[in-house]
Amino acid sequence: MVIKPTGSRQSKIVRSGEAARIFHAFGPKKGRVLDMGCGAFPFQPSGSGYEVVGIDQDKVGFVHCDFSYDQLPFPDESLDAVTAWEVFEHLENPFFAMREVRRVLKSGGRFFMSVPNPAHIESRVHFFLYGDLPRWRRRSDHIFIPLPAIMRKTFAKRFNLISMRYALPSLLGFRLPFCAGKHTGLNAVWMFEK
């Protein structure tokens, strides 16, 4: 089943090439990959041996799947990897979606997700000054705040945590020339195994 994606553009982590680097370091070398929340451009691991299926919540032009409430349209244990680059912060019920990812992954399958990093220095300063987080303001559709403690209490209970790292180092809108850390990475990237 190929689900035609719609939407406007890829996430920052995919556009930067960081998602591909992480996937190739920790992901399967071949197999069936689901890209949740792909928009118009499903994530494409380089190399042969991958069958990539993209799916999005957008209702225009293809099968609609509300990740917060609908079952993913795949049989149990049918996928080798699932990616969700900058998706879960948009979900009303991210824990249901997480359980669905676990259901469709094969034993040993990998789950990759990136979410905004609420510990980024700009987020911390903004919270101190204004009492809210910039990437979760009213004009944004981010509703789930993926704090590391919450991720460990929920996601890491249902999956084996392979690695968590920070990506896309930046400050005041400028890309930094060094590795992302807890206070400089715009995104937190979580890698799990079923």
In a domain, 77, yes or no: yes
Mean pLDDT of the 121-130 span: 77
- Establish if 72 belongs to a structural domain: yes
Residue 173 pLDDT: 62
Alpha helices (runs of H) in 89-194, residue ranges in sequence order: 94-104, 121-130, 148-158
Give the torsion through C-alpha atoms of 22, 27, 30, 35, to 10 deg.
-70
CA-based nearest residue to 74, from 93, 50, 48, 102 = 102
Residue of higher predicted confidence among 66 and 82: 82
In a domain, 1, yes or no: no
Residue 150 DSSP SS3: helix
**Contacts of residue 39, Cβ cutoff 8 Å, sequence gap at least 6:** 5, 6, 7, 8, 9, 10, 11, 56, 58
User: What CATH number is given to the structural domain containing 89?
Assistant: 3.40.50.150
Mean pLDDT of 25-50: 87
Instruction: Report if residue 87 sits inside a domain.
Output: yes
Query: How does residue 181 score in pLDDT terms, banded at 50, 70 and 90?
Result: confident
Q: Using 50, 70 and 90 to split pLDDT, how confident is the model at 59?
A: low
Contact predicate 15/33, CB 8 Å: no
State how many domains the chain has: 1
Residue 7 lies in a domain: no
Least confident among 140-144, 155-159, 190-194: 140-144
Is residue 167 one of the residues assigned to a domain? yes
Note down the domain range covering 31.
Answer: 12-193
Give the pLDDT confidence score for residue 130 in this predicted structure. 77
What mean pLDDT is predicted for residues 106-134? Answer: 84
Q: What is the pTM of this model?
A: 0.85
Does residue 22 belong to any structural domain of this protein? yes
Q: What tokens appear for 38 in the block?
A: 């792909």
* Tokens linked to 15: 């556009």
Query: Given the structure tokens 């990616």, which residue do they identify?
Result: 83
162 within domain boundaries? yes
Helix (H) or strand (E) holding 37: none
As a whole-number percent, the residues of the chain with pLDDT over 70 amount to 82
Q: What is the pLDDT of residue 103?
A: 98
